[in-house]
Copies of this chain bind each other. A is one copy, B any other.
Amino acid sequence: MRRGARPAGPGEITYSSYLKLDRILSAQEPESDRLGVDAHDEMLFIVVHQTYELWFRQILHELDRVQSDFAQTPVDDWRMRRMVHSLHRVHEILKLGIAQLDVLETMTPQDFLDFRGLLSTSSGFQSLQFRLLETRLGLGSTRRLLYEGKTVDADMSEAERAAFRAAEVGPTLRGQLEAWLMRTPFVTGERYAFRTAYREAVVAMLAREREWADDVAQTDAAEALERAARAFAAIFEPNPEAGWIMSPQAVEAALFITVYRDHPALHMPNALLGALMDIDEAMALWRHRHALMVERMIGMRSGTGGSSGHDYLSRTAREHRVFSDLFRLSTYLIPRDALPELPAEIERRMGFVYAAEEKR
């Protein structure tokens, strides 16, 4: 505890003072009120966006810790657990954010029109926290879609742009993931290379399947196998134009973690990859749902702030993905019984000390 600091005694903190409700509950100032216009639903519009901003704040708070933990080398096991925990929480928040659109959609387009014209050029496009969130997850400027020819920082204030730029040059979760994956032990050692073992297993599996396919003269199946063989090649001799974001070594390590997830030392790493996919998927779903809502609310007009919102949002849902590499991994999985066995020594080292000692 900070020197001189003293916890509050009974009655010194109230619910209202603790939560700063004076600030929170005085922050709804509908333009329609100021102008004396009747627009009941502007309050909903404000409250929905304010709750989103509060949730973004919370997500950024989780990313603070996750990214600080991820910056350690190596990442301690107890940190891994809480990183997974935080990312799971982020996923729950995103799911709530999607559900929250059920509430916003109780506003009809006609009710929105009551105040839509009063909002000047302000727009959700200007949410700094959302840009920080995207950037810190790993959506780089080079991959961002332009929006009516504008970059996302076009309308930012100086202070906002500074914060945004700082995030852009700072570490991203995706970058940290890649660096961490490339350090994964066991993937390539002196006497063992996962790459070689996995490739051999794939070749053997394909050979077995091809043999069976030949037997029954199934041209289609044979062709499918050819395609599969080429696909498997891709992961080990990746074509730089094939759309991978991470390096081949990082992808290889992610595959290693995925297929050997049963080993204790990979429980949490595997859960980490799953949590990142959950987040990427929830973000995409949110964008899709947001796009549908905008289409319903304002049709083919431009959004508040002048955006031709639906199309832009719909495209970001498809293209602003951060962890798509992890989704592509499943292309390269092979059935459990075709997986190469790990050397006993590696298996032992990925287990618990007490278990190893008992076995002796």
Chain A residues with CB under 8 Å of chain B are: 1-3, 5-21, 23-29, 31, 34-37, 40, 43-44, 46-47, 49-51, 53-55, 57-58, 61, 65, 77-78, 81-82, 85, 88-89, 92-93, 95-96, 99-100, 102-103, 106, 108-110, 113-114, 117-129, 155, 157, 160, 185-186, 216, 218, 220-221, 224, 228, 231, 258-259, 261-265, 267-268, 274, 277, 281, 284-285, 288-289, 292-293, 295-302, 305-306, 314, 317-318, 327-336, 348-357
Query: What separation, in Å, do the CA atoms of A9 and B119 have in the docked complex?
Result: 9
> Which residue from B43, B50, B99, B357 sits with its C-beta under 8 Å from A24?
B50
A64 to B285, CA, bound (A): 32
7 contacts between A and B (CB under 8 A): A5-B35, A14-B155, A15-B49, A47-B57, A267-B268, A284-B288, A301-B331
Q: Are B7 and A118 in contact (CB under 8 A)?
A: yes
A129 and B19 alpha carbons, distance in the complex (Å): 13
Q: In the complex, A268 Cα to B78 Cα: how many Å?
A: 12
* Inter-chain pairs besides A13-B31, A18-B31, A18-B46, 9 sampled, C-beta below 8 Å: A8-B119, A78-B264, A96-B96, A96-B102, A99-B99, A110-B261, A185-B354, A296-B330, A299-B330
CB atoms of B96 and A100 under 8 A apart: yes
Pairwise interchain contact B61-A43, C-beta atoms closer than 8 A: yes
Residue of chain B at shortest CB distance from A216? B9
User: When the two chains form their complex, are residues A350 and B351 in contact, meaning their CB atoms are under 8 A apart?
Assistant: no
Docked pose: A118 CA to B5 CA in angstroms: 11
Q: Contact at A299–B332, with CB atoms within 8 Å?
A: yes
Central interface residue in A43, A330, A350, by most chain B CB within 10 Å: A330
| Chain B residue at smallest Cβ distance from A351 | B353
Note all chain B residues with C-beta closer than 8 A to A285. Answer: 285, 288-289, 292
In the complex, what distance in Å separates the CA atom of A16 from the CA atom of B160?
10
A13 CA to B30 CA in the complex, in Å? Answer: 12
Q: How far is the CA of A218 from the CA of B121 in the complex (A)?
A: 13
Interface of A, helix, strand, loop or mixed by DSSP: helix
Q: In the docked arrangement, what's the CA distance between A139 and B42, Å?
A: 28
Contact partners of A108 in chain B: CB under 8 A = 274
Distance of A113 from chain B, by nearest CB (Å) = 5
Partner of A18, one of B100, B122, B265: B122
Q: How far is the CB of A183 from chain B (nearest CB, A)?
A: 13
Complex: chain B residue closest to A304, CB-CB: B15
Q: Are B118 and A329 in contact (CB under 8 A)?
A: no
Q: How far is the CB of A87 from chain B (nearest CB, A)?
A: 10
Chain B residue, CB-CB nearest to A220: B10
Task: Determine the distance from Cα of A120 to Cα of B12 in the docked complex, in whole angstroms.
Answer: 7
Complex contact B23–A27 (CB within 8 A): yes
Q: Chain B's nearest CB lies how many Å from the CB of A201?
A: 13
Set of chain B residues within 8 Å of A348, measured between Cβ atoms: 353
CA separation between A335 and B12, bound complex, in Å? 22
Are B9 and A218 in contact (CB-based, < 8 A)?
A: yes
